[in-house]
Amino acid sequence: MTKGNETKITDELYAYMLAHNPPLDAVQRDLVETTYADLPGQARMQSAQEQGPLLAFLVRLTGARHIVEVGTFTGFSALSMAQALPPVGKLIACDISEEWTAYGVEAWRTAGVADRIDLRIAPALDTLRAMPAEPHIDMAYLDADKENYIPYWEELVPRLRAGGLVVTDNVLYGGRVADPLATGAAAAIRQFNDHVAADTRMESVLLTVADGLTLSRRT
């Protein structure tokens, strides 16, 4: 097997990449910095900075009006997607932590998009199963507990409209998914990646963006 690209992402190259992407606005930047300052032990759960502009791009590209996010943390990804929604759009944000999502709620209000975000503090599977069963979701972002990725997927896909998009984060899990003896969350991601690849309802591509990002389109 020959790799087509062996570019090493150095700190300098990463900074160059960020400089040539749409910049974070003041609210986004403050939220990212506050998350790292106040929650240093958990800040790694925040979506990478380059994923904010990418998610916003995908919202506009798909013309999404109804988005579901599974795993909100401090709200950076939800903020990025909500800012790209039209005023009539709605994002349902699923999380179980009032403490962490409180950072997002404040940022959403400051950015003027709080009315586009419906935060639901409950187990995400309960929230998803309570949604209408017919296809109605335009786009979903999956970035939550890895052991439940397959159950989340199976609740989202039937509710996804034709041409709708699921964006899944952490599908490389620090490189540990390549280990056939992986355990825990890495093993769960391996199983999820196999599940997605075999799902004939979806057309998927796994990319080496940040910690691995899979884009899946409902056929």
Q: What is the pLDDT of residues 171-211, one digit of tens each?
A: 999 999 999 999 999 999 999 999 999 999 999 999 999 99
What structural domains and CATH numbers belong to the chain? 11-218 (3.40.50.150)
Rounded distance, CA 65 to CA 70, Å?
Answer: 17
Residues 36-55 have a mean pLDDT of 96
Rounded distance, CA 63 to CA 65, Å?
Answer: 7
Query: Exposed, middle or buried, 36 (CB in 10 Å: 0-12/13-18/19+)?
Result: middle
DSSP string, 155-187: HHGGGEEEEEEEEEE-SSGGGGGG-TT--HHHH
CA distances from 11 to 21, 29, 38, 172 (A): 16, 19, 23, 20
pLDDT of residue 6: 74
pLDDT of residue 77: 98
pLDDT of residue 7: 83
Cα 8 to the center of its chain, rounded Å: 24
Q: Where are the beta strands (DSSP E) in 54-112?
A: 66-70, 90-95
Q: Is the pLDDT of residue 165 over 80?
A: yes
68-106 pLDDT, tens digit per residue, is 999 999 999 999 999 999 999 999 999 999 999 999 999
22 closest CA partner among 45, 56, 67: 56
pLDDT of residue 2: 64
Q: What's 49's DSSP letter?
A: T
